[in-house]
Amino acid sequence: MLTIKNLNKNFGNCQAVNNLNLELAKGEIFGFLGPNGAGKTTTIKMIASLLHPCSGQILIDDIDVHLSPVAAKQHLSYIPDEPYLYEKLTGYESLQLIGKLRQIPPLLVKERIEESFLLFNLEEFAHQYTENYSHGTRQKFVFACALLSRPKLLLIDEPMVGLDPQNSFLVKNLLRQIATQNQVTIFLSTHTLS
């Protein structure tokens, strides 16, 4: 599902990623652990085709990320460490927009939105502007956004930031469930062992 070969990235004289090689199968959860500044976010951004490597190759479902970025991105969702929301849209409107951008049929979008709000206990926030969401609610909502397209690969940078213990437990269980039941490969970075 995800293959990384001899991946390197430099920023000037600083080598952020040094000859990374990795192979992940469908349904596998991979935790990329390291201190701040170790190249975790840089690696995730290269997988998501937001940064270009100095050398090396990244394949998502046998599609080269840098030769065919649009095709590769159709298979993934990315949750950054500081997620951006359309603050002047409600949660429901935001998910509708994502559904349109991902070219998901409208009836299917409606069904998935309702499932997401139930799954993440977000029903009461559906018609509130996202600018009014608490940090934890924003984080859960970003997971709902990322899962709307049913990706084959889910990239998550610091997934538990801002989540209380109950929601952290919910997200961990959900990640295990979608990896097992839906065969979604999950690549997550963190600097903590919790």
Q: How many domains does the structure of the chain reveal?
A: 1
What three-state secondary structure class fits 132? helix
Give the amino acid at 74: Q
Q: How far is CA 179 from the centre of its chain?
A: 13
Tell me what the pLDDT averaged over the chain comes to: 93
pLDDT at 121 over 70: yes
CATH code where residue 131 lies: 3.40.50.300
Residue 118's domain comprises 2-190
- In the 8-state DSSP scheme, what is residue 154? E
Going across the sheet that includes 63-64, the strands are 14-24, 2-11, 55-60, 63-64
Give the contacts of 66 (CB within 8 A, at least 6 positions apart).
49, 52, 53, 57, 58
Q: How far is CA 96 from the centre of its chain?
A: 18
pLDDT at 104 over 80: yes
Q: 58 pairs with which residues across the strands?
A: 4
Q: Are 43 and 7 in contact (CB under 8 A)?
A: yes
Quick: pLDDT tens for 40-73: 999 999 999 999 999 999 999 999 999 999 999 9
C-alpha 76/C-alpha 12 separation (Å) is: 29
Question: pTM for the complete prediction?
Answer: 0.92
Average pLDDT for residues 93-119, to the nearest whole number? 96
Quick: pLDDT tens for 130-184: 999 988 889 889 999 999 999 999 999 987 776 788 888 888 898 999 999 999 9
pLDDT the model gives residue 81: 85
What three-state secondary structure class fits 152? coil
Query: What's the token pair of residue 24?
Result: 């992940």
pLDDT the model gives residue 160: 78
CA atoms in the 13 A half-sphere facing the CB of 73: 14
pLDDT at 194 over 80: no
